[in-house]
């Protein structure tokens, strides 16, 4: 199994970027979110009117802004990996700081959204739609926080000079996780905020 | 700007455009089967771009790449089915 | 034995095996009472046999965990245990307290035991698995604190490895979550919450840390694979086990009066609990396949691999069978639960304790591995116990499916006792499988008494069996 991670990246048969162990994690996370998404979709099929009605109450703009923020953040992370592959560890750290900052924007926007729902008295028990909305977005929110922690560790190590053009598995590992968080939101936003 | 960086920027731009499109559809209050199909298709495109270019899965040996693509496909197709059964 | 103080593990392991034998005997008594209701009545009523069966299990596993900690902590930290004397004293305290409690169950009616132990001062008795008198519970806490102090100081003063840190975290968690057993709210919903926070967070939470660290330790020793590789996989497995296990507590909230969303949260997260167990199976086989040495203790390797497989089947697959809320609506509290309980406890926790005993006991007795003939016998006991446990599980699953079908998932439900009559054949078969399990256990004990024989011949025999 370890050979997969240390396999030289070449041609059509390159290895997964980063540590193989994080990919086990990523696949497991995708599985959980996938099950959650399908649970939402099939429960909605039984309560179409309810879901359509309460979807109107969501803050679509904040959802869209957060999508743009996460996409941009993912782009910064790509640039960070790109930088460290050239050996520019410091530049890599700077890109990561930008990515973490974008993550911070996501967190602030999301918290404002949660606060607004809270002020309206919405809870997990209000109705099935809100149960899914809060569960899905909160579960994803925890992943954003987790991703920011991982990226912060990587950024600190990048500034300390722990990575170079030859050895930067840590950067790729953190980057892969962050892209997963982005990928999941790309599905979540249209599903919960837009589709009806 | 090297090739990787340029491709990443192109993907970022495409993602932004598709996201704004999705948002506009939501704002206009559009719904129904064709709109759902269109948005799900755009999500598939966005997801595959993130997987291939951002995650760097293009050219990664199987089964690792198709596990992400397959996830996207299965989840989006099943979501689509659920929405169409719910619509009627 | 690298460190003298590791020797304190030996009495713990012996006590564990002794209590294990007792647990199985009471299991057989109870299994017979399923089909012959008045067997041994009034001396040992069913409820008492059940209490002794489950309490002995918990106590001997705790002995096993403590023995494992005393054995592996000096080796991991590369120093002698802080206080071997304290470990010996606590051993006797725990053994005497445990024995008195079991005798109390057997000799006086439960209500009288509650009176005698002044349960009314701080009522904690009467809850399943936590039936111990309050004074025993306090004793358990004292022993646990002394034990944690002893290994905690040793770990903090010595080399810190992932294995020992994870073990310490698991053991601290075990002690902390046990504190919930002292709070016994009058409100039935609250009562169930606190009860599950002991029971579930033990077996599907912190005990998994203990399991993972012991397994990792044995695999490092018997395979010679780099510690870093094993540690990395341990991190991934533990993270997933904890996330799915802790949120998965929700699968106990379905029908106890908790909000409805727990049916979703509980179903989804507990459905993921098999994944870390599956990863553990893949991991264990992977490490053994990549071994850098042939360890002479084949039996320990067999137990380690067996743990990985049986934990996945018992905890993972049999847990998943009835974890989804719509399924659990029908299977709740049926023989399906009993099937899962048996295989999960055997596969995960019984087998990991037997793994560390298998690895450590020969070393504690001054050899690297037991005599090959003893190992052959031990492997026979492995297969007899494991296969009979598979059959116990299958028979109970059969009983459970039929029970649910006749009594619950039907337009024309039959009464409980009528259904029990109809599934009696499964109970008889289960009892027979239990008898085979006892034979396996007797062989297991006998393997410790096999004297060294002709070495060359015997090692061929090991190779054939393995």
> pLDDT tens, A12-56?
567 899 988 899 889 999 999 999 999 999 999 999 999 999 999
Q: Which of C389, C394, C252 is nearest to C402 (CA)?
A: C394
Question: Does residue A146 belong to any structural domain of this protein?
Answer: yes
In sequence order, what DSSP letters do the residues of A21-57 get, joined into one string?
A: HHHHHHHHHHHHHHHHHHHHHHHHTTSHHHHHHHHTT
User: Residue A7 is encoded by which pair of tokens?
Assistant: 């396999």
Residue the block writes with tokens 């071997």: C84
- Give C279→chain A minimum CA distance, Å: 9
Look at residue C402 and tell me whether its pLDDT is greater than 90.
yes
Residue the block writes with tokens 């396996």: C440
Phi, psi (degrees; rounded to nearest 5) at C263: -65, -35
Q: What would you report as the CA-atom Rg of chain C, rounded to the nearest whole angstrom?
A: 22
Nearest chain A residue to C258, by CA: A125
Question: Does residue A3 belong to any structural domain of this protein?
Answer: no
Whether the CB-CB separation of C321 and C351 falls below 8 Å is answered with no
Q: How far apart are CA A135 and CA A87, in angstroms?
A: 41
CA distances for B87 relative to A46, A48, A149, A196, B44, angstroms: 10, 7, 41, 9, 21
Name subunits touching B (3+ CB pairs < 8 A): A
Whether the CB-CB separation of A192 and A137 falls below 8 Å is answered with yes
Q: How far apart are CA C352 and CA C212, in angstroms?
A: 9
Chain A residue numbers with beta carbons less than 8 Å from the beta carbon of C227 are none
Question: How many domains is chain A built from?
Answer: 1
Residues 6+ positions from B70 with CB-CB distance below 8 Å: none
> Can you say whether the dihedral through the CA atoms of B5, B7, B9, B15 is positive or negative?
negative
Look at residue A11 and tell me whether its pLDDT is greater than 60.
no
Nearest chain C residue to A40, by CA: C264
Name subunits touching C (3+ CB pairs < 8 A): A
Band (pLDDT 50/70/90 cuts) for residue C455 is: very low
Nearest chain C residue to A134, by CA: C261
Cis peptide before B63 (omega within 30 of 0): yes
Question: Does residue A82 belong to any structural domain of this protein?
Answer: yes
Mean pLDDT (whole number) for B6-12: 94
**Interface check A28 vs C, CB under 8 A:** yes
Residues 6+ positions from A31 with CB-CB distance below 8 Å: B71, C272, C275
User: Residue B32 is encoded by which pair of tokens?
Assistant: 């129904």
**Interface check A119 vs C, CB under 8 A:** no
Among A3, A5, A21, A46, which would you mutate to test the C interface (most chain C Cβ atoms within 10 Å of its Cβ)? A21
Question: How many domains is chain B built from?
Answer: 1
The 10s digit of each residue's pLDDT in A79-127 is 999 999 999 999 999 999 999 999 999 999 999 999 999 999 999 999 9
Of A13, A37, A72, the CB nearest to B61: A13
* CATH architecture for residues C4-220+288-304+328-465: Up-down Bundle (1.20)
Which residue segment(s) compose the domain that B34 sits in?
Answer: 3-87
Q: How far apart are CA C114 and CA C104, in angstroms?
A: 10
Q: How far apart are CA C376 and CA A151, in angstroms?
A: 52
The 10s digit of each residue's pLDDT in A63-86 is 999 999 999 999 999 999 999 999
Q: How far apart are CA C92 and CA B39, in angstroms?
A: 69
Q: How far apart are CA C9 and CA C357, in angstroms?
A: 9
Mean pLDDT of chain C: 94
- Give B50→chain A minimum CA distance, Å: 7
Whether the CB-CB separation of C145 and C194 falls below 8 Å is answered with no
Nearest chain C residue to A39, by CA: C264
Length of chain B: 88
CATH number of the domain residue A172 falls in: 1.20.120.80
The 10s digit of each residue's pLDDT in C254-285 is 999 999 999 999 999 999 999 999 999 999 99
The 10s digit of each residue's pLDDT in A120-151 is 999 999 999 999 999 999 999 999 999 999 99
Burial of C109 (0-12, 13-18, 19+ CB in 10 A): exposed
Any idea where the domains of chain C sit in the sequence?
A: 4-220+288-304+328-465
Q: How far apart are CA A82 and CA C47, in angstroms?
A: 67
The 10s digit of each residue's pLDDT in C59-114 is 999 999 999 999 999 999 999 999 999 999 999 999 999 999 999 999 999 999 99
Question: Does residue A28 belong to any structural domain of this protein?
Answer: yes
Of A30, A78, A186, the CB nearest to B43: A186
Name subunits touching A (3+ CB pairs < 8 A): B, C
Which residue segment(s) compose the domain that A144 sits in?
Answer: 15-194
CA distances for C105 relative to C58, C110, C113, C127, angstroms: 15, 6, 7, 14
Nearest chain B residue to A30, by CA: B71
Whether the CB-CB separation of C459 and C297 falls below 8 Å is answered with no
CB-based contact A32 C239, cutoff 8 Å: no
Chains C and B are touching, with contact defined as 3 or more CB–CB pairs separated by less than 8 Å: no
CB-based contact A48 B87, cutoff 8 Å: yes
């Amino acid at each position: 199994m370890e050979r997969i991670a240390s396999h030289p990246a070449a041609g059509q048969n390159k290895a997964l970027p980063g540590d193989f162990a994080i990919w086990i994690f990523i696949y497991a996370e995708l599985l959980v979110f996938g099950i959650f998404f399908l649970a939402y979709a099939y429960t909605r099929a039984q309560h179409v009117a309810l879901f359509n009605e309460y979807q109107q109450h969501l803050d679509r703009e904040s959802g869209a802004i957060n999508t743009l923020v996460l996409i941009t953040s993912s782009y910064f992370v790509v640039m960070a990996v790109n930088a460290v592959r050239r050996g520019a560890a410091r530049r890599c750290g700077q890109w990561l700081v930008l990515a973490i900052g974008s993550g911070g924007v996501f967190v602030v926007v999301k918290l404002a959204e949660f606060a607004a729902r809270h002020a309206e008295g919405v809870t997990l028990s209000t109705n099935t739609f809100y149960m899914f909305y809060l569960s899905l977005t909160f579960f994803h929110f925890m992943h954003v926080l987790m991703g920011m922690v991982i990226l912060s560790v990587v950024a600190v190590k990048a500034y300390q000079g722990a990575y170079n053009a030859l050895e930067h598995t840590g950067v790729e590992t953190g980057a892969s996780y962050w892209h997963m968080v982005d990928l999941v939101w790309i599905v979540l936003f249209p599903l919960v905020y837009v589709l009806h | 700007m090297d090739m990787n960086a340029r491709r990443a920027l192109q993907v970022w731009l495409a993602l932004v455009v598709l996201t704004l499109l999705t948002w506009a559809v939501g704002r206009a209050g559009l719904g129904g089967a064709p709109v759902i199909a269109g948005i799900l298709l755009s999500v598939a495109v966005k997801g595959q771009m993130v997987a291939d270019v951002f995650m760097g899965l293009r050219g990664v040996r199987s089964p690792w790449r198709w596990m992400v693509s397959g996830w996207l496909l299965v989840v989006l197709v099943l979501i689509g089915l659920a929405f169409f059964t719910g619509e009627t | 034995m690298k460190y003298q103080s590791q020797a304190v593990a030996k009495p713990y392991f012996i006590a564990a095996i002794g209590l294990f034998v007792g647990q199985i005997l009471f299991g057989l008594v109870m299994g017979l009472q399923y089909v012959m209701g008045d067997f041994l009545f009034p001396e040992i009523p069913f409820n008492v046999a059940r209490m002794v069966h489950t309490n002995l299990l918990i106590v001997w596993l705790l002995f096993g965990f403590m023995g494992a900690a005393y054995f592996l902590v000096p080796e991991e930290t590369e120093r002698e245990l802080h206080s071997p004397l304290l470990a010996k004293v606590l051993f006797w305290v725990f053994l005497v307290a445990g024995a008195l409690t079991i005798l109390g169950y057997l000799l006086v009616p439960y209500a009288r035991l509650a009176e005698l132990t002044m349960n009314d001062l701080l009522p904690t008795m009467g809850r399943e698995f936590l039936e111990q008198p309050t004074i025993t519970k306090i004793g358990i806490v004292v022993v646990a604190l002394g034990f944690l102090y002893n290994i905690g100081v040793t770990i903090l003063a010595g080399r810190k490895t992932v294995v020992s840190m994870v073990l310490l975290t698991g053991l601290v968690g075990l002690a902390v979550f046990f504190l919930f057993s002292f709070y016994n709210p009058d409100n039935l919903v609250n009562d169930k919450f606190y009860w599950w926070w002991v029971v579930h967070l033990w077996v599907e939470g912190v005990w998994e840390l203990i399991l993972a660290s012991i397994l990792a330790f044995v695999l490092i020793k018997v395979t010679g694979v780099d510690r870093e590789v094993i540690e990395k996989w341990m991190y991934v497995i533990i993270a997933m086990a904890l996330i799915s296990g802790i949120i998965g507590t929700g699968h106990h909230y379905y029908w106890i009066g908790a909000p409805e969303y727990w049916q979703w949260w509980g179903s989804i997260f507990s459905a993921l609990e098999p994944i870390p167990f599956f990863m553990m199976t893949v991991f264990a086989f992977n490490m053994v396949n990549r071994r850098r040495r042939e360890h002479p203790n084949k039996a320990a390797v067999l137990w380690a691999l067996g743990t990985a497989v049986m934990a996945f089947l018992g905890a993972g697959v049999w847990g998943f069978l009835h974890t989804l809320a719509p399924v659990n609506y029908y299977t709740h509290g049926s023989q399906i639960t009993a099937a899962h309980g048996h295989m999960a406890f055997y596969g995960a926790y019984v087998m990991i304790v037997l793994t560390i005993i298998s690895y450590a006991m020969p070393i504690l007795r001054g050899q690297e591995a037991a005599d090959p003939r003893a190992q052959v016998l031990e492997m026979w006991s492995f297969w007899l116990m494991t296969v009979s446990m598979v059959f116990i599980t299958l028979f109970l699953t059969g009983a459970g499916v039929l029970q649910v079908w006749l009594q619950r998932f039907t337009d024309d439900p039959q009464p409980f006792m009528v259904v029990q009559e109809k599934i009696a054949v499964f109970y008889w078969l289960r009892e027979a499988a239990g008898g085979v399990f006892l034979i396996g256990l007797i062989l297991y004990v006998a393997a410790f008494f096999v004297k060294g024989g002709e070495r060359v011949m015997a090692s061929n025999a090991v190779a054939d069996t393995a």
